[in-house]
Structure formats: C-alpha cells, structure tokens
C-alpha cells in the first residue's frame, strides 16, 4: 500500500532497548525520531496532494516529553498525543476511586464500547413531551437494548447531546457531560444524543 491509501497514520514513540533508564534525554531522542517521521510523512503527503491525490488523513505522533508538546502548540496541522500525560491522568483517577479502573478499562480496550450518535426521537416523542431533563433522557437510553452481530446484548449510556442549532464543526458547543443534568430543557426533533454502547 502507498501512503495515500491509509485512513489513519499513527507514529508511536520508540525507546532503544539498550537504554536502562528512561530519563529526560531518552524521551527527547525518542520524540526527535517521532517528529522526524511525522515531518517525513507530512512531506510525502504534501507532494502527493500536488499531483491531485484524494484528501489525505492527518498523521498523529506519540510524544513522551511535555516540553516537546509546548514546541508543537503553534505548529499548524501537526497532530500529537501526549501518552505519558494520559497514563498519569488515568492512574490518578484510579488512585482517587478504584471503580474508575473498570470504567477506563471498558472505555480504552479494543473490544470495548463504541460512541454513537442517535436521533433524540429514538427516546422521546418531542411533540408530546418536549421538556425533559438530561437525566430523564439518559434513563430511557439505559433501558434500550441492542443485539450485536455476535449475538451479545448491549445497552446504552448517554454521555451528552448536540442541539440542532449547533453545526458539527462547532464541537466545542456540543454538550458532553452536560453540567445541569436535572434541569429540564426543550428538545427538538433534530437534536442528537451521544451514547456509548456497552456490553
């Protein structure tokens, strides 16, 4: 396959096996190699786009050192994942609440839950009951059952919604984990609910 045939490109950080201690210098050299690969891929994509290739995916690089992420803050079209920070945040949450281990395990494992967009009309008849709280809608989502292709039953967990007036490009206005869940709001037929399918 050529580079323009991939749907996604993820460059993982590499650490040499002969390095005993993972100190700051090791992270710097690993980040340097990752960024060099990222720039090389971006260069190849830029050349392909000049020759009329279809829309190409944005490559993403794994970064280990937080100082490297500060350098990339203002660089346009550079995608990166700060993996050490994600792992640290997960460990902190589990240390505070042991139950989070099960939640994060379900969210992050390959066979885990899927995020889906569902029309609000799957849960409420907006003409009959236009005003409901997010908790009431979430309870209805929880009661819905689905059969997966392998025959396993799964249920839904509502995690947010997108009001009909908000374009998909305005993702910042999408209400994930909405703050006032008990307050009633007016739902429209074009609203969508963001749910997790969990087994």
Mean residue pLDDT of the chain comes to 81
Sign (positive or negative) of CA dihedral 81, 87, 88, 91 = positive
Looking at residue 86, its pLDDT comes to 82
For 65-102, write each residue's pLDDT tens digit.
887 777 776 666 677 888 888 888 889 989 999 888 88
Q: Return d(Cα 191, Cα 118) in angstroms, integer.
A: 9
182: CB partners within 8 A, 6+ apart: 133, 134, 135
Q: Element (H or E) spanning 76, and its range?
A: none
Query: Residue 68 gets which letter from DSSP?
Result: H
List the domain boundaries for the chain: 3-92, 113-198
Which has the minimum average pLDDT: 6-10, 50-54, 120-124, 130-134? 50-54
| pLDDT at site 134 | 93
Give the mean pLDDT of 18-43.
75
pLDDT at 121: 92
SS3 label, residue 196: strand
Structure tokens at 30: 């690993």
Specify the pLDDT at position 174: 76
- Work out the percent of the chain whose per-residue pLDDT is above 70: 84
Distance from C-alpha of 117 to C-alpha of 130, rounded to nearest angstrom = 20
Q: How far apart are CA 185 and CA 138, in angstroms?
A: 13
Q: Which pLDDT belongs to residue 136?
A: 94
Residue 166: which of 175, 177, 178, 155 has the closest Cα? 175
Could you report the per-residue pLDDT of 155-194, keeping only the tens digit for each? 888 999 988 877 665 555 678 888 889 999 999 999 999 9
| pLDDT at residue number 112 | 63
pLDDT tier at 54 (50, 70, 90 boundaries)? low
Coil/strand/helix, residue 20: coil
The pLDDT of 22-40, averaged and rounded, is 79
User: Over 90: is that where the pLDDT of 135 sits?
Assistant: yes
């Amino acid at each position: 396959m050529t580079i323009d045939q991939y749907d996604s490109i993820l460059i993982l950080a590499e650490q040499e096996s002969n390095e005993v201690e993972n100190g700051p210098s090791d992270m710097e050299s690993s980040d340097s190699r990752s960024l060099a690969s990222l720039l090389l891929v971006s260069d190849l994509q830029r050349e392909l786009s000049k020759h009329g290739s279809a829309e190409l995916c944005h490559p993403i690089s794994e970064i280990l050192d937080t100082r490297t992420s500060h350098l990339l803050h203002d660089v346009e079209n550079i995608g990166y994942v700060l993996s050490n920070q994600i792992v640290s945040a997960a460990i902190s949450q589990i240390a505070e609440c042991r139950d989070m281990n099960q939640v994060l395990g379900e969210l992050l494992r390959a066979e885990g839950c899927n995020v889906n967009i569902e029309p609000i009309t799957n849960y409420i008849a907006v003409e009959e009951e236009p005003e409901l709280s997010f908790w009431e809608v979430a309870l209805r989502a929880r009661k819905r059952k689905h059969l997966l292709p392998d025959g396993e039953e799964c249920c839904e967990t509502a995690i947010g919604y997108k009001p009909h007036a908000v374009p998909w490009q305005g993702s910042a206005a999408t209400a994930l984990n909405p703050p006032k869940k008990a307050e009633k709001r007016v739902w429209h037929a074009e609203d969508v609910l963001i749910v997790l399918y969990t087994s």
